[in-house]
Amino acid sequence: MELWIDKIRITLCFMFLLLEGWQDKKRKKILLLPVFIVASAGIVLCFMQSPKDVVYAVIGAIPGAVVLLLAYATGEKIGYGDGFVLMASGVLLGLRMNLLMLLFGLFLAAINSVWILIRKKGNRKTQIPFVPFLLPGLTLSIALTVQGN
């Protein structure tokens, strides 16, 4: 992958997660227009690099599609917006980085949930927004990937 395209993808993903994380935290909503813009931009960036890289984008969206299925199966205990955000970020980041970001995000959300329980600010049914945990999850994923190279 060309370095400048990687920088554009990661920067775009950071801005996207910052916007959607803020929306999720403050309004409990995900804006769908940025999701479609980011996913489209990711496909264009992949195509600019190589038409074969569009497969890279589609495969990267798989974790988001799985989360969408889980949202449906759980009666939306997991939000559909989380799945859409993960699909769009996966188009930009690819499967490996998107999975790392998702795992770190889940870990950070779990720590936050335990903290809420300890402080007695909620119970096990308290809903917390998930997307705000993806930005630090992406940061940790990048740090881990850079450290590993």
Q: What is the pLDDT of residue 2?
A: 66
Predicted local distance difference test score (pLDDT) of residue 56:
86
**Boundaries of domain holding 7:** 3-148
- State the 10-residue block means of pLDDT for the chain, 149 residues long: 81 97 94 96 89 87 97 94 97 95 97 94 90 97 80
* pLDDT for position 3: 77
Both structure tokens of 146: 């850079």
pLDDT (0 to 100) of residue 26 = 94
Q: How many residues does the chain have?
A: 149
Nearest CA among 112, 56, 52, 60 for reference residue 85: 60
Is the alpha carbon torsion for 64, 38, 130, 4 positive or negative?
positive
Residue-wise burial string across 36-54, b where 16 or more C-beta atoms lie within 10 A, e elsewhere? eebbebbbebbeebeeebb
Query: What's this model's pTM, rounded to 2 decimal places?
Result: 0.92
Query: How far is residue 113 from each of residues 28, 83, 119, 136, 147, measured CA to CA in Å?
Result: 17, 20, 10, 16, 29
Q: Domain count for the chain, please give it.
A: 1
